[in-house]
Amino acid sequence: DAKTTQPNSMESNEEEPVHLPCNHSTISGTDYIHWYRQLPSQGPEYVIHGLTSNVNNRMASLAIAEDRKSSTLILHRATLRDAAVYYCILLNQAGTALIFGKGTTLSVSS
Amino acid sequence: DAGVTQSPTHLIKTRGQQVTLRCSPKSGHDTVSWYQQALGQGPQFIFQYYEEEERQRGNFPDRFSGHQFPNYSSELNVNALLLGDSALYLCASSSLIFRSYNEQFFGPGTRLTVL
């Protein structure tokens, strides 16, 4: 599976936008980009996924670079509840196991 | 819908013992995956069950085994427990027919402590 690189930690203030970057320079054409997050003392939860085009859902937006070698998860207005570890994961069509890295720990201050 | 449920919530065992963890998938899901999460680390994939068979396995020894029942629920068994098996064990369910859109729903986990 192709590898992803994320910053270890990021900080944000409440109600401000947050841009979480992910580099995946070895991504293949069939790899989907998935984001999961894990709140303290909980199991991971799905956030969003995409292949080539930018994606929006009720939780976040995913911006994918034109060459697909990087992507950015965008939280439009961070809340205290968004404080979590965010994982960027590549998943090809044939694979179903999620390979988690260390992720980015997001801290949100009021 | 209760989502993914796991039991027990917490478990304490001693080295050498055997343990069984249980998972009920989200309604409508037919695939169950198990992950081990050590403190401060991301989850590590153990194996995945579909149609009562192990279809994919991560880099875990044979001491880790599993089973899936006709109702899609699953068990994770660990034999000859080691101190290093202390971790949060997560169960995730999904629907295999949507394998390219592989949203997995995770349970709250079972915290295993090996003394």
Distance of CA A75 to the CA centre of its chain: 10
At residue B99, the pLDDT reads 55
Q: Is A98 on the interface with B (CB under 8 A)?
A: yes
pLDDT of residue A1: 56
Q: Check A87 against B100: CB less than 8 A apart.
A: no
Residue of chain B with shortest Cα separation from A85: B42
Asked if pLDDT for residue A2 goes beyond 70, the answer is: no
The token pair at A80 is 């205290």
Q: Which amino acid is at A22?
A: C
Average pLDDT over residues B1-27: 95
Contact B99 A44 (CB under 8 A): no
Say what percent of chain A tops pLDDT 70. Answer: 95
On average, the pLDDT of chain A sits at 92
User: Is the pLDDT at B8 greater than 70, yes or no?
Assistant: yes
The per-residue pLDDT for range A48-68, each reduced to its tens digit, is 999 999 999 999 999 999 999
pLDDT at B16: 98
Q: 10 Å Cβ neighbour count for A13? A: 11
Q: Is A80 helix (H, G, I), strand (E, B) or coil?
A: helix
Identify whether the C-beta of residue A78 lies closer than 8 Å to the C-beta of residue B37.
no
Calculate mean pLDDT across residues A18-26.
Answer: 96
* pLDDT higher than 60, residue B102: yes
Distances (CA, A) of A79 to A43, A58, A83, A104: 19, 14, 8, 16
Instruction: Give contacts of B45 with chain A, Cβ < 8 Å.
Output: 97-99
Residues of B in contact with A103 (CB under 8 A): 42
Q: Are B106 and A103 in contact (CB < 8 Å)?
A: no
Question: Does residue B98 register a pLDDT over 80?
Answer: no
- Contact between B104 and A94 using a beta-carbon 8 Å cutoff: no
Q: Verify whether the Cβ–Cβ distance A100 to B42 is below 8 Å.
A: yes
Mean pLDDT computed over B41-58: 93
A42 touches chain B (CB under 8 A): yes
- For residue B55, pLDDT beyond 60: yes
Instruction: Give residue B58's pLDDT band: very low, low, confident or very high (50, 70, 90).
Output: very high
**Alpha carbon distance A91, A32 (integer Å):** 5
Query: How many A/B residue pairs have CB atoms within 8 Å?
Result: 59
pLDDT at residue A29, rounded to an integer: 87
Question: Around Cβ A72, how many Cβ atoms within 10 Å?
Answer: 17
Average pLDDT over chain B, rounded to an integer: 93
Distance from CA of A25 to the nearest CA of B (A): 21
The confidence band for B101, taking pLDDT boundaries of 50, 70 and 90, is low
Separation in Å, CA of A42 to nearest CA in chain B: 5
Tokens of A11: 């900080």
Report the pLDDT value the prediction gives residue A92, as an integer from 0 to 100. Answer: 76
Residue A57 near chain B (CB below 8 Å)? no
Name chain A contacts of B35, Cβ cutoff 8 Å.
Answer: 98, 100
Query: pLDDT at position B95, please?
Result: 84
Looking at chain A, which residue has its C-alpha nearest residue B47?
A97
E-strand spans in B19-79? 19-24, 31-37, 44-50, 53-57, 64-68, 74-78
Q: Is A109 helix (H, G, I), strand (E, B) or coil?
A: strand
Q: What is the pLDDT of residue A42?
A: 92
Cα–Cα distance, A83 to A86 (Å, whole number): 9
